[in-house]
Amino acid sequence: MSELLCIEGLTVRHGATVALDAFSLAVRRDELFVLLGASGSGKTTLLRAIAGFALPASGRIVLNGQDIAALPPHRRPVNTVFQSYALFPHMTVAANIAFGLRGMDRAAVSARVREMLALVRLESLADRRPHQLSGGQQQRVALARGLAPRPALLLLDEPLSALDRALRTETRDELVRLRRHLGTSFILVTHDQQEALTMADRIGVMRDGSMAQVGTPAEVYEGPNSRFVAEFLGSANILPGALRADGSVDLPGLGTVATNGGIARPVLLALRPERLRLGDTGGVNRLTGVLAASVYAGETLIHTVRLADGSDIRVTQSLHDGLSGALPTPDAAVTVSWSPDACILLPP
């Protein structure tokens, strides 16, 4: 059995709000599962239900083959690292890490604390108190405290959101390294799609208390199953059209483009901005328009092209060679081209 956690039909209500609606999810052993979703979609509620802090109205939560839904939080082999690290201010770093190890003998506790300090590379700070640490160091203490009892599953609710960008990237890599090293499964909540794409073994995109899609980062990014997922993860140009049996899509007012699709039906055509090229670069599909704006974004130029029907599409151009010369002139007539592979067909 490769599944560590199996959630079936989980419903959690907060008064009249249905925070989780007959929710199902399977998390594998030894994976970093990232939960993405808009504010209020139920991510924290899900973690709280798994940890035992939110009471489900119905459903099963099976961990390691055992239904844990009736167990109190401290009897579940699950730990949580909350967004506000919640370190005990009056305790040293070492005492914070030892907090969840009651019941172990003293020698074993101090060995485990040393091991955890080494793991998060804070050996030299064992005797400090939280207010004497930087935000990133506090975050690592919270992580060490969560991992110290060796839970089967660690839940992390936006653990990196308080960190600046450089520290975020560093801590993100650290988390991935730690998890691989320990072989523990993590469920991590984030709002940051870059974080989700780079860290996750699999991503689950939540919407209004349900799971919209689950898959590897590439599966979900390149094969979104709905307009919601296509627009939530990354950005997408959405053009309504009709798919014909030969795989071409009629875009009313714009023309016809080739895709790899097959069954005739109305569709939404989704195009990732980075799969589009400005200029007639030999892509099979072409639309003409007028350049409405170009914005410099460091790694890319982001162009907005106004199409014949008045709609705008976004094209990102990678600046491999830097920005040579000036930004393109607005109002120039341009061609946008792309290959059929880049066409994502979605239900309307």
Ligand X SMILES: Nc1ncnc2c1ncn2[C@@H]1O[C@H](COP(=O)(O)OP(=O)(O)OP(=O)(O)O)[C@@H](O)[C@H]1O
Q: Exposed e or buried b for every residue in 242-279, given b needs 16+ CB within 10 A?
A: bbbeebbbbbeebbebbbebeeeeebbbbbbbbbbbbe
Whole-number minimum distance, CB 195 to ligand X, in Å? 13
260 binds, among Mg ion, ligand X, none (CB under 5 to 8 A by kind): none
Q: How is 280-341 classified by DSSP, letter by letter? A: --S-SEEEEEEEEEEEE-SSEEEEEEEETTS-EEEEEEE-TT---SSPPPTT-EEEEEE-GG
Binding site for Mg ion (CB under 5 A): 44
> Which residue number, 20 or 63, has a Cβ lying nearer to ligand X?
20
Treating both helix axes as pointing N-terminal to C-terminal, what angle do 165-182 and 135-147 enclose, rounded to 10 degrees? Answer: 20
Token output for 116 = 């955890």
User: Both ends of the chain: CA-CA distance in Å?
Assistant: 37
Q: Are 10 and 24 in contact (CB under 8 A)?
A: yes
CA distances, 259 to each of 51, 273, 317, 341 (Å): 45, 16, 22, 7
324 binds, among ligand X, Mg ion, none (CB under 5 to 8 A by kind): none
Q: How is 190-238 classified by DSSP, letter by letter? A: ES-HHHHHHH-SEEEEEETTEEEEEE-HHHHHHS-SSHHHHHHSS--EE
- What is the enclosing helix (H) or strand (E) of 240? strand 237-243
Whole-number minimum distance, CB 307 to ligand X, in Å? 34
> Which residue number, 15 or 325, has a Cβ lying nearer to ligand X?
15
Whole-number minimum distance, CB 235 to ligand X, in Å? 20
298 binds, among ligand X, Mg ion, none (CB under 5 to 8 A by kind): none
> Which residue number, 20 or 334, has a Cβ lying nearer to ligand X?
20
> Which residue number, 193 or 248, has a Cβ lying nearer to Mg ion?
193
Binding site for ligand X (CB under 6 A): 14-15, 17, 19, 37, 39-45
Whole-number minimum distance, CB 39 to Mg ion, in Å? 7
> Which residue number, 21 or 274, has a Cβ lying nearer to ligand X?
21
Whole-number minimum distance, CB 74 to ligand X, in Å? 21
* Residue of minimal Cβ distance to Mg ion: 44
12 binds, among Mg ion, ligand X, none (CB under 5 to 8 A by kind): none
Whole-number minimum distance, CB 175 to Mg ion, in Å? 18
Whole-number minimum distance, CB 4 to Mg ion, in Å? 22
Q: Are 81 and 147 in contact (CB under 8 A)?
A: no
121 binds, among ligand X, Mg ion, none (CB under 5 to 8 A by kind): none
41 binds, among Mg ion, ligand X, none (CB under 5 to 8 A by kind): ligand X
19 binds, among ligand X, Mg ion, none (CB under 5 to 8 A by kind): ligand X
Q: Among positive and negative, which fits the CA dihedral 173, 174, 176, 181? A: positive
> Which residue number, 20 or 291, has a Cβ lying nearer to ligand X?
20
> Which residue number, 232 or 338, has a Cβ lying nearer to ligand X?
232
